[in-house]
Structure 1
Amino acid sequence: MTTEAAKEHFTNYTEYAKTLRTWLVAYGIGAPVLFVTNPTVAKQVKESGFGSYIVYLFMAGVALQIMIALINKWAAWHMYFGEENSEYKAGSGYKKWEWVNSQTRLDLALDALSIAAFVVATVWVLRVLLA
């Protein structure tokens, strides 16, 4: 049985997780849009030779966030379905998704990779602009 304190901690965790994912996706989409819509910045980035790498890094960061959101979505569905269906809960499909659901390292790794991609892309843009 889940305690009230555990529920409060989980609620706190989910709020932070949603907020972080929202910020990461917004930054991963917003930063390139900002660079592209400024003709001077767009020209400098394009002429730098790093333009495609910068775009790919931003796309990779967003793709990683979408990937972890999809994984978490499906894990949550399987956990829900298992709670509603004891026969399914006893099966191997549920057990696999239960394991995935417990892998916080997966979230941490994909978040860290997203942030790293955004940092590298941003540093490259700043180096181009400040050169």
Structure 2
Amino acid sequence: MSSGNSHTRIISSNREESLRLAYRQHSATLRAWFVAFGVAFPLFLASNDRIWDDFSAHENATCTAILFFAGVILQVVLAIIDKYTDLFCLSASMGLRNADEWAVKMGCLWLHYDWPSILGDVITLLLFIYAGYNTINILL
């Protein structure tokens, strides 16, 4: 009975780890799309003189630009955190860092929970939706 439960835990652990890895890969793709949209959309506005003149003259233009900028910055910060938490945990697993170091503990804790990244993605999406809504209202 004990070996059956152990086997089930291993399968469950492997499945959980493979799902976590798949989420991280999809999250990286989503992050790239968010950054591309957050940079490209304002550049598109600036590239057309008529659109830019209408947009920049509006009182909500600064707020809208800040919303796009905040979404991009949030995604860049999350990418940096993900990069270094991966590095800290990997180096600890290879014996290159002490597993008791604060950075390693925090890094492994960050990697264990997906909700901070999901929350960051949802906040970015809401920022971009609101910025897009403002842009449409400005240009119409």
Fold shared per TM-score above 0.5:
yes
Measured after TM superposition, the shift of residue 11 of structure 1 is 4.2
Structure 1 portions without partners, runs of 5+: none
Aligned with residue 116 of structure 1, among 120, 126, 129:
126
Once structures 1 and 2 are overlaid, which stretch shifts more, 35-44 or 60-69? 35-44
Paired residues, number = 129
Kindly report which structure 2 residues correspond to 1:49-68, keeping only aligned pairs within 5 A, or say none: 49-68=59-78
- Percent identical: 20
**Following the alignment from structure 1 to structure 2, what is the Cα–Cα distance between the partners of residues 11 and 93?**
21
Over 6 Å off, 4+ runs = none
Post-superposition Cα deviations, 1:44-82, rounded to whole Å, max 9, x if no partner, equal: 111111111111111100000001001111110011011
In the aligned structure 1, how far is the partner of 2:97 from the partner of 2:25? 32
- Correspondence for 1:12: 22
RMSD, aligned CA? 1.9
The structure with more radius of gyration: 2
Q: In 2, Cα distance between the equivalents of 1:83 and 1:32?
A: 42
Which stretch shows the higher mean deviation, 70-79 or 88-97? 88-97
Partner secondary structure for residue 88 of structure 1: coil
Instruction: Report the TM-score when normalising by structure 2.
Output: 0.82
Tell me the TM-score normalised to structure 1 length. Answer: 0.87
Return the alpha-carbon distance in structure 2 between the equivalents of residues 95 and 102 of structure 1: 11
Specify the alignment match of 1:44 in structure 2.
54
Matched residue of 2:119: which SS?
A: helix
